[in-house]
């Protein structure tokens, strides 16, 4: 992935069927090759008409939406958010090997939520509570505290001044082919393929940035 225009859709760092049986191959293929690709194409199309924005990184575009020309604010917000949220989601999946948080993140989850089980329950409740399309996130706030939040559509925690650690995409396209309308089952399955190693790295990165 370039960190600025022209953005490209880098291949997944694992096979499309790597999350079987929890997330099916067809869903992974469509999600990455079509849904994410569409956000990238739309973002590139818009930026192609604005050379002055072509050196901006994805994060700069997201955070500075209010400074952009009015007529492209919504377009850039939705599509840069769509690219960021999906890349983050895919980067935090792995074949089901480590089913528990690790490292300093594991300690902080216990401190903040009482236990991993308690965190899981709260995260699942949040993910179920998203009305329509959006995401549930584990984030670090400006005082360094772990929090669970939800966002609508392709909104991101970055524009709220929060540092993302982990996210789950609960748009129906993320699970409908396998789980139909049963979002709760999809969330349970997603917990089997969380890349806790990467989430821990994201967490440590938050501290480097914010403190």
In terms of phi and psi (left: phi > 0; alpha: psi -120 to 50; beta: otherwise), the region of 153 is left
Q: Is 171 in the site for Mn ion (CB under 5 A)?
A: yes
Kindly indicate which of the ranges 131-139, 157-165, 166-174, 187-195 contains the residues binding Mn ion, using the contact rule CB under 5 A. Answer: 166-174
Q: Is 189 in the site for Mn ion (CB under 5 A)?
A: no
Indicate the residue among 88 and 196 with the shorter CB distance to Mn ion: 88
Give the count of alpha carbons within 13 A of 54, CB side only.
Answer: 11
Q: Is 169 in the site for Mn ion (CB under 5 A)?
A: yes
For the window 64-93, what string marks contact with Mn ion as x by the rule CB under 5 A?
Answer: ------------------------------
CA dihedral 160, 122, 94, 151 (to 10 degrees): -30
Instruction: Count CB neighbours of 116 within 10 A.
Output: 16
Indicate the residue among 5 and 135 with the shorter CB distance to Mn ion: 135
Q: Are 134 and 150 in contact (CB under 8 A)?
A: yes
The minimum distance between CB 31 and Mn ion, in angstroms, equals 6
Distance, in Å, from the CA atom of 193 to the CA atom of 136, rounded to the nearest integer, reads: 16
Kindly indicate which of the ranges 101-109, 111-119, 156-164, 167-175 contains the residues binding Mn ion, using the contact rule CB under 5 A. Answer: 167-175
Q: What is the DSSP letter of 10?
A: P
What residue ranges bind Mn ion (CB under 5 A)? 169, 171, 174
């Amino acid at each position: 992935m370039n960190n600025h225009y022209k953005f490209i859709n880098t291949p997944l760092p694992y096979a499309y069927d790597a999350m079987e049986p929890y997330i099916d191959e067809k869903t992974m293929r469509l999600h990455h090759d079509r849904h994410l690709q569409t956000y990238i194409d739309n973002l590139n199309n818009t930026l192609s008409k604005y050379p002055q924005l072509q050196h901006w990184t994805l994060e700069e575009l997201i955070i500075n939406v209010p400074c952009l020309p009015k007529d492209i604010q919504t377009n850039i917000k939705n599509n840069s958010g769509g690219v960021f949220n999906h890349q983050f989601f895919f980067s935090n999946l792995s074949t089901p090997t480590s089913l528990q948080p690790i490292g300093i993140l594991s300690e902080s989850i216990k401190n903040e939520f009482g236990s991993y089980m308690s965190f899981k329950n709260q995260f699942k409740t949040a993910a179920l509570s998203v009305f329509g399309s959006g995401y549930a996130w584990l984030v670090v706030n400006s005082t360094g505290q772990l929090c669970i939040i939800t966002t609508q559509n392709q909104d991101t925690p970055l524009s709220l001044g929060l540092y993302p650690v982990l996210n789950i995409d609960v748009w129906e396209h993320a699970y409908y082919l396998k789980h139909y309308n049963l979002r709760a089952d999809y969330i349970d399955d997603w917990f089997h393929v969380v890349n806790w190693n990467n989430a821990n790295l994201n967490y440590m990165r938050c501290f480097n940035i914010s403190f």
